[in-house]
A and B are shown apart, each in its own frame.
Chain A
Amino acid sequence: MGMSVDLSVKIGSKTLPNPVGVASGTFGYGSEYEELLDLSCAGAIFTKAVTLEPRVGNDIPRIIETPSGMLNSIGLANAGVKKFVSEKMPYLKKLPCAIVANVAGATEPEYIQVVKELEEADGLWGYEINVSCPNVKEGGLAFGTDPGQVERLTSTLRKLTSRPLIIKLTPNVTDITVIARAAQSGGADAVSLINTLVGMVIDVKKKKPVLAAKTGGLSGPAVRPVGVALTYRVSRAVSIPVIGMGGISNADDALQYMLAGASAIQIGTTNFIDPRAPYTVLEGIREYCVGNDIDTVDRLRGIIS
């Protein structure tokens, strides 16, 4: 053996050290996991969503386990962009992995203002624009289901930054490729998918939904085949890189996404269960490449026609 594999992934004008990221909302701001995982193994940390003002989040209960998955309705709880920059960035920017701020807003000016303030912060690698949160009333999903709004928002944000701009897409649409192409037309460097699927669990004894917000976002192994299929479709509809996610718990799952057309992947719900997964998934991808005589991970996405 001893064959070295080029794990780097080019997105826009920059390069990720490897294709394994941790998904927004599942990894806090990194420090929560520092005792459980060598954070330097991650290619990228996609932060908890950052909004202009602090948000307390949704009513409780916010989470419920489902068969091979979970529903969450956190509602973008976060301390706002100013505290993100002053309290979270000093720690994050010291990490060797790429730090991607997940940006959310209720209105276009809100997204704009958050990105403007983050542009002033050192050490950020890029942005993942969350136009697909199913758990807030306005903004979020309302943007992500309308190709016109996605294209306009993307092109507006494009003018504000030269850092990589990744648009995070929702699966809760009739045709995700239309939204992906809108992001590309607006100047996105990549798209990431899938955000969670809208779901509901009802407590039949109490005769009401378990979650206070009634619905939540479904994640975990249950959604993986949906994510793989949509990654396959989107990667053939756009020429920019696709970052795949949804139910990845091990290297085989990640490889399904990469063979489907993803240039990189994110681990989400699995971080809660197996915090070492980013390391084991990366090692598994490397071994697979070595075993299959693949010298660069970028070749994985072209294998399946």
Chain B
Amino acid sequence: MLKQLQSQVLSNRQISADFFELSMRWDKTAGIALPGQFLTIRVSQDSVPLLRRPFAFAGFDEPEQTASIIYQKRGRGTEILCGKQAGESLDVIGPLGNHFPVNDGQGESVAAAGGIGLGPILFLVNYLRERDVPVTFIFGCRNSSYIPDNTAFKTASPNICTDDGSVGFKGNTISYLEQNIKINDKSVLYGCGPEAMLKGLSGFADSVGAASFVSVEQVMACGVGACMGCVVKTASGYARSCKEGPVFSAKDIVWE
């Protein structure tokens, strides 16, 4: 049940070179969030920055009534968000968008995150494992300084790839998949990260007829399906990443 909430910040801390994890109180009247769904935050009452900022859920604890996001400091909006202290109130709208479909357990599940695509994939990995669906988790980033230092990540048994080889596999997540992961037509792949990575993931899945689902990132204005600003090109025309997405079957997306 989509709601606008005043959510209390529980913690907000830096977890890598420029990643932050923010945890907040979640009012149960807004219902539950599923992996892939997102929320929007009005980071300031000022007109700069103007628009609400979308963030995928990185975790959701129904009994504890908490939700978390992982975000990257990369502009005025996220800079302001970095300054939010525990106890402060956040103007939040959510849960928004669709979610990753859960693998029925027939075949192998593989979930890959590139950079700040980590949040929704981490949530998905934990969600699947809580439901006894085994999943291989892959995380790729530039170098060791981007590897998150938070419990949810460290306990999720990540297979780490770095572009410079400073930790784990040297290369990106797609090279890792190609060299280390055997999939078949019953496998289900999940991904969130840069567009080139999602396109690569889609191709890797297609090569054996496996299903693949990706969460796309687009600039959004309304976040609720009204403005038609955040569309992505799909085989059946433009689709709103905030409403029909942000999760799409990768083969439906028309890649640039």
Contacts and interface: CB of A to CB of B under 8 A. Distances in A.
Interface in A126-179: none
Given A68-B50, A273-B42, A35 B228 contact: no
B235 interface: no
Interface in B59-113: 93
B63 to A, nearest CB: 24
B167 interface: no
Nearest to B230: A63
Contacts of A225: none
A72 B4 contact: no
Contact of B229 (A36, A63, A271): A63
Interface stretch (B18-26, B117-125, B216-224): B216-224
A32 B225 contact: yes
Interface string A268-279: 010111111000
B49 interface: yes
Interface stretch (A21-29, A113-121, A232-240, A255-263): A21-29
B254 to A, nearest CB: 11
B238 A57 contact: yes
B1 to A, nearest CB: 7
A57 B237 CA distance: 10
A32 B219 contact: no
Contact of A32 (B3, B47, B224): B224
A37 B47 CA distance: 21
A77 B50 CA distance: 24
Contacts of B2: 35-36
A272 B223 contact: yes
A60 B231 contact: yes
Nearest to A36: B4
A220 B42 contact: no
Contacts of A74: 227-229
A272 B222 contact: yes
B226 A271 contact: yes
B233 A60 contact: yes
A272 B221 contact: yes
Given A36-B2, A57-B238, A272-B51, A70 B221 contact: yes
Main secondary structure of the interface of A (DSSP, over half): loop
Interface residues of A, number: 35
Contacts of A67: 48
A32 B233 contact: no
Nearest to A224: B47
Contact-residue bracket for chain B: 20 to 34
Given A60-B231, A72-B229, A275-B4, A33 B51 contact: no
Given A62-B229, A221-B47, A221-B50, A35 B221 contact: no
Contacts, number: 96
A31 to B, nearest CB: 9
Contact of A62 (B3, B223, B225, B228): B228
Given A56-B237, A57-B238, A33 B226 contact: yes
A26 B227 contact: yes
B222 A61 contact: no
B52 interface: yes
B41 to A, nearest CB: 11
B224 A70 contact: no
Given A26-B222, A28-B226, A249 B47 contact: yes
A267 to B, nearest CB: 13
B232 interface: yes
A60 B239 CA distance: 11
Contacts of B223: 272
A57 B228 contact: yes
A275 B5 CA distance: 12
Nearest to B256: A60
A87 interface: no
Contacts of B93: 36, 275
Given A36-B93, A67-B48, A274-B42, A72 B227 contact: yes
Interface in A1-49: 25-28, 32-33, 35-36, 48
Nearest to B238: A56
A29 to B, nearest CB: 8
A64 interface: yes
B50 A33 contact: no
A249 B47 CA distance: 9
Q: What 7 A-B pairs are tightest by C-beta distance, nearest first? A: A28-B226, A63-B229, A68-B47, A32-B226, A272-B222, A221-B47, A35-B2
Interface of B: 1-4, 42, 47-52, 93, 218-233, 237-238
23 contacts: A28-B224, A28-B225, A28-B226, A32-B226, A35-B1, A35-B2, A56-B237, A63-B220, A63-B230, A65-B49, A65-B50, A68-B48, A70-B51, A72-B221, A72-B227, A72-B229, A74-B227, A77-B228, A221-B47, A221-B50, A222-B47, A271-B226, A272-B222
Interface of A: 25-28, 32-33, 35-36, 48, 56-57, 60-65, 67-70, 72, 74, 77, 220-222, 249, 269, 271-276
Given A35-B2, A70-B51, 8 more contacts: A57-B238, A60-B232, A63-B230, A68-B50, A69-B50, A221-B50, A269-B221, A272-B226
